[in-house]
Amino acid sequence: MRKRWERVLALLLALALLAGCAPAADADGPEIEIADMEDNAAGVVTPGGDSSGLEAASMHLRRTQGGVRVSDAQGRNVRPRDDLGLYSDYQVATQDESYAWIDLDRVKLTKLDQTSEICIQQEGRHLEIDVQRGSLFFNITEPLADDETLDIRASTLLVGIRGTCGWVEVPDSERMDVYLLEGAAEVSVTDTRGRVTTAQVRGGEVAHLALNRRDQDDTPITLDAFTAAQVPAFALEEVREDAALCEKIEGETGMDLYQYDSEAAVRAALQNVAYVGDASACAMSAQQAEAFAQVLEARMAAAQDAFRGVSGTESTLRCVAALADAGDGIPILLYGCYAETVENGYVIPWDIALAIDEAAHPGIERLEIWQWQDGRAVRFPQVGVTKVYPGYLLIKSMGNFPPDSAAWVYPLSGGTAAAAYTTQGRAQGIWDDASQTYHYEYTVNDAPAAMEAYEAWSARWEPEGPALYFYGSDRTSGDGGVLYDGFSPAEDVLAALRGGGAPRETADSTRTMSIYDPQSLIRRTVVNTGVPNLTIYSEIPVLPADSDANRRVNETFQAMEDQYLAGAADNAAYARENPSPYGDPYEDSWSAAVTFPTARIVSVQRQHYSYFGQPHPASESQYLNFDAATGEALTLDQAADAGAAEIQTYILQVLTQRNQESNAIFLDSFQDRPASAYMYTVDGGRITVVFDRNDGTYYAAGGIEPIELPFPLRAELQ
């Protein structure tokens, strides 16, 4: 028994000395047994006999199903078993159709999906699960205590969990999607420049977290609603075991997960969109439906991004889609996009690829075909004029000159299109210089054929009335003609793939997302208005909270921001009811910058901008200065080494002299203004009075030029 405990102590000491997750163990490597310990075993036992486990939370592998691998902090395999203690730097990984249940203090449950991997980090009562790949369900049945934390992360993407239910998906190291079924949680992203973006997620919402986007100024967190059709099976079966939880989720989100049949809902919804075959017999799995839905979302977003760069157009972007049974009730997905212009009452569709920057937006095709292979959506490589018939695709060349029509047939079977065509026919026009006309040569299956044989082939494989028809002219011709016959709006197909139910509206003018830059010390809070072409945000300085003075400055600006954001709902309502007739974006914002001109002064400049369709945007400037030692605001007469009356007299003299030259200053606005009411900046020991553009003059004058005072900065503020 003594040797057994010595082995345990040595192992735990090694765990305590190692930092970070070790590389995953070889699945075929030797396994070790970990001795049973009491429920506080998550604490590290020191050689002196003390144990932080008396304070630490405990983690256990409750049970497993299928192939599950556990490795310790040294990367060695540990044999999985029920109630196995899990310690800091342990890793758990699942294989196909395999799952692992982990509890925290016996009441907080997480479940690892198939083909997923996590690493556990623990320091006392602070727990962290690093999802390295795959998906993780969580259901925190009892809220965490004040001294407890549970974070789920992927790289620098983080969600803090306290008492809620949901799941996370980590497709790669730069993305994490956080779905909440009930409750609320805070998510955050720390980008490569150290900026921290935070947002709150509520039940029925998904937060998409991303790193290293093409444009680092893009918002790294976006919020959307989701439907019951998007709840994965591994999470759904856990939720359905708890009737009270199902009732709570339905109350918060309107999703009835207890009786929901995602595949039946999708089958019903597909009967209302373009579907070649019997939609009621569709055998598409929930995973395939969601994968196709994500394809549509991504391709529609890419088309919108590309179309946004088409300047001067009065056209409308259209995205279309359809599904076709490819055998065994498993469909393929067809997607296309084009622009639509109305001229003289006629609707003219045209190829947007002729107008976009293809180098900046590669891969914008007029038609894409996607199929379900090996558990993922895969793009079919063949493109061209396409006709869809029951049981096969007919794809034709898009050549216009010389006359040349070639067609290839790809059978649909087992849920996919054949990789190679099975039959082919071609009619090629050959120019005859002598007669100045074309004559045609025909082939069937690459062999010369008579016209009658070719026409018989065409009648067999290209009859009138295909279920779906896409035509696009040769892009080299430049005419840009396109036609989509039998397709549905892509938005409708997307909704059908998710059961046909519209997600709950997430737009709420009280919802915000914050981005903090530790280098500039500026935090931007963006309002989730849900109104197209409307931006509302507020920037304020957030100084390190390491002194009473800094905290006082932070409180001052927080109060300003709270007051400003209280009016966001009114601005959003106005923009929603009065959209811009020209499509110009509306904006109401405060930008900010903080500087430290001397060791005793904190200077903040804020600029307000507001545009809601008026002839000129409204603006306002603020220049505020604070005593770095006390956090109190410094008025001009407190900063300048001169009396208030002397400062006021000098400013009026300068303004009077300037007005004699321009006659653009309203002197009455300054006659009774005390020195303490003027804004100013500090540069070294110099003080300059500054004016808002609309202060004491008319808009066209462009504002009053700054006035540098002859009085120095007070010595104690130098």
How far is C-alpha 287 from the geometric centre of its chain's CA atoms?
A: 20
3-state secondary structure 392-412: EEEEECCCCCCCEEEEEEEEE
Q: How confident is the model at residue 41 (pLDDT cuts 50, 70, 90)?
A: very low
Sign, CA torsion 65/62/178/501:
positive
Averaged pLDDT for residues 302-325: 78
Residue type, 547: S
Q: How confident is the model at residue 247 (pLDDT cuts 50, 70, 90)?
A: very high
| Tokens at 225, concatenated | 């609603």
Residue-level pLDDT at 370: 96
Q: How confident is the model at residue 265 (pLDDT cuts 50, 70, 90)?
A: confident
| Tokens at 308, concatenated | 């946004």
Q: How confident is the model at residue 698 (pLDDT cuts 50, 70, 90)?
A: confident
Residues 635, 709 contacting (CB under 8 angstroms): no
Query: Pick the residue with more confidence: 10 or 172?
Result: 172
Q: How confident is the model at residue 474 (pLDDT cuts 50, 70, 90)?
A: low
Distances from the Cα of 176 to the Cα of 20, 131, 156, 244, 289, angstroms: 20, 9, 10, 28, 20
At 710 the three-state DSSP class reads coil
What letter does residue 41 receive in the DSSP assignment? T
- The tens digit of pLDDT for each residue in 375-430 reads 999 999 988 899 999 999 999 986 555 567 899 999 999 999 999 999 999 998 88
Averaged pLDDT for residues 692-714: 90
What average pLDDT does the structure give for the chain?
Answer: 84
What letter does residue 585 receive in the DSSP assignment? P
DSSP string, 620-649: EEEEEEEETTT--B--HHHHBSS-HHHHHH
**Distance between first and last Cα of the chain:** 72
- Cβ-based neighbours of 123, under 8 Å, separated by 6 or more: 88
- The tens digit of pLDDT for each residue in 433-452 reads 777 777 889 999 999 999 99
Residue type, 132: Q
Please give the biggest Cα pair distance in the chain. Answer: 107
Averaged pLDDT for residues 640-668: 93
Of 159, 197, 186, 157, which Cα lies nearest the Cα of 522?
197
Q: How confident is the model at residue 498 (pLDDT cuts 50, 70, 90)?
A: confident
Q: How confident is the model at residue 499 (pLDDT cuts 50, 70, 90)?
A: confident
Phi, psi of 300 (to 5 degrees): -65, -40
Torsion of CA 249, 253, 256, 260, to 10 degrees: -110
Residues 658, 705 contacting (CB under 8 angstroms): yes
Residue-level pLDDT at 533: 81
Instruction: Identify the weakest region by mean pLDDT among 116-120, 341-345, 353-357.
Output: 353-357
- The tens digit of pLDDT for each residue in 405-418 reads 899 999 999 999 99
Residue-level pLDDT at 30: 52
Total number of residues shown for the chain: 718
Query: Whole-model pTM?
Result: 0.68
Give the pairing type, strands 126-140 and 149-154. Answer: parallel
Residues 372, 365 contacting (CB under 8 angstroms): no
**Best-predicted range by mean pLDDT (472-476, 571-575, 705-709):** 705-709
Distances from the Cα of 200 to the Cα of 90, 161, 514, 527, 563, angstroms: 29, 11, 10, 12, 20
What CA–CA distance (Å, rounded) separates 698 from 664?
A: 7
At 265 the three-state DSSP class reads helix
Which contiguous run of DSSP H or E holds residue 292? Answer: helix 286-308
For 89-195, strand residue ranges (E) read 91-94, 99-104, 108-112, 117-123, 126-140, 149-154, 157-161, 165-172, 175-182, 184-190
Is pLDDT at 670 greater than 70 in this prediction?
A: yes
Q: How confident is the model at residue 311 (pLDDT cuts 50, 70, 90)?
A: very low
At 246 the three-state DSSP class reads helix
Specify which residues 367 forms β-bridges with: 336
Averaged pLDDT for residues 300-325: 79
Residue-level pLDDT at 616: 83
Residue-level pLDDT at 43: 31
Is pLDDT at 47 greater than 50 in this prediction?
A: no
Is pLDDT at 652 greater than 70 in this prediction?
A: yes
Averaged pLDDT for residues 248-254: 91
Query: Pick the residue with more confidence: 195 or 358?
Result: 195
- The tens digit of pLDDT for each residue in 158-167 reads 888 878 899 9
- The tens digit of pLDDT for each residue in 595-622 reads 999 999 999 999 999 999 888 889 999 9
Which contiguous run of DSSP H or E holds residue 572? Answer: helix 568-577
Is pLDDT at 51 greater than 50 in this prediction?
A: no
What letter does residue 675 receive in the DSSP assignment? G
Is pLDDT at 140 greater than 90 in this prediction?
A: no
Q: Exposure pattern of 193-206 as b/e (b: 16+ CB <10 Å)? A: eebbbbbbbbbbbb
Using a pLDDT cut of 70, give the percent of the chain over it: 84
Instruction: Identify the weakest region by mean pLDDT among 9-13, 533-537, 690-694.
Output: 9-13
Q: The tokens 């896409």 sit on which residue?
A: 470
Cα Rg of the chain (Å, integer)? 33
Residue-level pLDDT at 218: 63
Residue type, 418: A
- The tens digit of pLDDT for each residue in 191-200 reads 888 889 999 9
Distances from the Cα of 239 to the Cα of 59, 140, 377, 592, 713, angstroms: 21, 12, 27, 46, 66
Taking residue 300's Cβ as centre, other Cβ atoms within 10 Å add up to 18
Q: Exposure pattern of 520-534 as b/e (b: 16+ CB <10 Å)? A: ebbbbbbbbbebeeb
Averaged pLDDT for residues 478-496: 86
Distances from the Cα of 361 to the Cα of 196, 211, 290, 357, 444, angstroms: 29, 20, 25, 6, 38
Is pLDDT at 250 greater than 70 in this prediction?
A: yes
- The tens digit of pLDDT for each residue in 543-568 reads 999 999 999 999 999 999 999 999 89
Q: The tokens 């309502």 sit on which residue?
A: 573
Sign, CA torsion 496/498/504/508:
negative
Phi, psi of 638 (to 5 degrees): -85, -25
Is pLDDT at 532 greater than 90 in this prediction?
A: no
Residue-level pLDDT at 175: 87
Averaged pLDDT for residues 499-524: 75
Is pLDDT at 29 greater than 80 in this prediction?
A: no
Averaged pLDDT for residues 187-216: 83
- The tens digit of pLDDT for each residue in 61-119 reads 999 999 999 999 999 999 999 999 999 999 999 999 899 999 887 667 899 999 999 99
Using a pLDDT cut of 90, give the percent of the chain over it: 54
What letter does residue 22 receive in the DSSP assignment? P
Which contiguous run of DSSP H or E holds residue 576? Answer: helix 568-577
Q: The tokens 């061209």 sit on which residue?
A: 384
Torsion of CA 309, 311, 314, 319, to 10 degrees: -10
| Tokens at 30, concatenated | 């030797």
- Cβ-based neighbours of 413, under 8 Å, separated by 6 or more: 326, 327, 391
